[in-house]
Amino acid sequence: MIIFKSINKLNKKVNFKANIGFVPTMGSLHNGHISLIKSCKLKCKKTLVSIFVNPSQFNKTNDFKKYPRDLKRDVAILKKLNVDYLLVPKINDIYNNKKSMKININKKDKILCAKYRPGHFEGVLGVINQFLTKIKPKYMFLGEKDYQQIYLIRKFIMNKFNTKIVSCKTIRLKSSLAYSSRNALLSKKEIFKASLASKMTNNFYKLAKKNFVKIKKINELKRKIEFQKIKVEYLELRNKKNLSTKVNKSNFKIFLSFYINKVRLIDNF
Please state, in angstroms and rounded to a whole number, the distance separating the CA atoms of residues 170 and 268: 9
Please state, in angstroms and rounded to a whole number, the distance separating the CA atoms of residues 195 and 197: 5
Task: Tell me, yes or no, if 33 is annotated catalytic.
Answer: yes
Angle at 149 between CA 143 and CA 150, to 5 degrees: 60
Query: Which of 33, 41, 120, 238 is the catalytic position?
Result: 33
HSE-CB at 212 with a 13 A cutoff on CA atoms is 8
- Which residue numbers are catalytic? 33
